[in-house]
Amino acid sequence: MSIAAFKIANTLITGRSAIDQLPAELTRLNIRHPLIVTDAVLVRSGTVAHVLERLDGRSHGLFDQVEPEPEIAIVEACARAYRQGGHDGLIGVGGGSAIDIAKSVAAYAGHEGALETLFGVDQVTRKGPPLIAIPTTAGTGSEVTNVAILSDKQAQLKKGIVSDFLLPDVALVSPLMTLTCPRGVTAASGVDALVHAIESYLSLHATPITDALAIGAIKLIAKALPKAYANPADLQAREDMATASLMAGMAFGNAGVGAVHALAYPLGGRFNIAHGVSNALLLPHVMAWNKLACVERFRDIAAAMGEPVAALSDLDAAERAVHAMARLCASVDIPKGLRAFDVPEDAIPRMAEEASKIERLMRNNPRVLSARDIEQIYRAAY
């Protein structure tokens, strides 16, 4: 008998005015003195002000030192600020990085051992302080997942804390919070959301529930991402992307992601390529490889992306899906080729070895991949 659990953030609040619910949620969670976890760019752009204006007179702390692809040391610094400030809850405001740091601090704040002992699956032993996640990009889905990804610069590796105790108490998702998101980040995080939806639809652990969310997200992203990129003030496109990212997050938080993410991690860990970009670089090549295992599912993806597939064979329809993904990435100016990012070609065997060991993701992938297969994919993407 097979069993599937479906777990997401406890409460989802969506819509253009979602942010107005912040005071009520702080009261409900009994948070009187929150620490806001964010980055300096979001403070300067005025995005964090939307949060500060809604604290209803509560005193707060501001930790604004989150960086893209955040290092483990940032969790230590933020946890120190949390303890020393005597806070009683966390508000993560930002892209995946700020929310992942807030989730990590929630797990680490009351933990007795070293931070390193939390890495891996189910190493967190108890629920931390209450956490509200407010995404400012439409992409990572971190507001509804049980994973936090951190960079270990020394080991040149990405490390994950995976635990249901990381699921935020509230995901507050408003398109207004994404209006200041720069074009390049809109593109990269939007493609990350697309990859979440596609990988969860193809995952060996997909269920009818995650399928519905994944296909719904793909449909929205195919239409809305080019519009949000072309006109960052298009509120409907921003709202569709925020919703799609949330749906894709709920899908992959339960079905898992696969080889695109596994192969992307060494690119982020070793060469600091932004997560969404490294996913986009690999997406068409991993998909060309995967399609043999599940052409019917690729047909569904092609249809969701608006391709006319009714008269096509499954294999032709699957190829249409791969082309449609590549075209969408190109339309939002995602660069092509690992070469453009100064990845040396002789690093490929080592990256392949590393990616093949990410069992947590590889076990979801529809086609079995050896280290040699992965090497071929990296070369195709070079």
Give residues in contact with Fe ion (CB under 5 A): 192
**Least distance in Å: CB of 100 to Fe ion?**
11
SS3 assignment, position 58? coil
**Least distance in Å: CB of 140 to Fe ion?**
6
C-beta closer to Fe ion: residue 192 or 354: 192
**Least distance in Å: CB of 291 to Fe ion?**
21
C-beta closer to Fe ion: residue 22 or 149: 149
**Least distance in Å: CB of 2 to Fe ion?**
26
Q: Taking CB positions, which residue lies at the least distance from Fe ion?
A: 192
**Least distance in Å: CB of 275 to Fe ion?**
6
C-beta closer to Fe ion: residue 26 or 148: 148
State the DSSP string of 288-300: HHHGGG-HHHHHH
Question: What is residue 115's DSSP assignment?
Answer: G
For the CA atoms of 117, 123, 126, 128, the dihedral, rounded to the nearest 10 degrees, stands at 60
C-beta closer to Fe ion: residue 192 or 239: 192
**Least distance in Å: CB of 341 to Fe ion?**
17
C-beta closer to Fe ion: residue 150 or 317: 150
Residues with Cβ within 8 Å of 226's Cβ and at least 6 positions away in sequence, in order, are 328, 331, 332
C-beta of residue 277 within 8 angstroms of C-beta of residue 189: no
C-beta closer to Fe ion: residue 192 or 300: 192
Residue of 213, 175, 172 whose CA lies nearest to 196: 213
DSSP-H helix ranges across the chain = 22-28, 40-44, 47-52, 72-84, 96-109, 183-202, 208-230, 235-255, 259-271, 275-290, 295-304, 314-331, 348-356, 359-362, 371-380
- Alpha-carbon distance of 132 to 316, in angstroms, equals 45
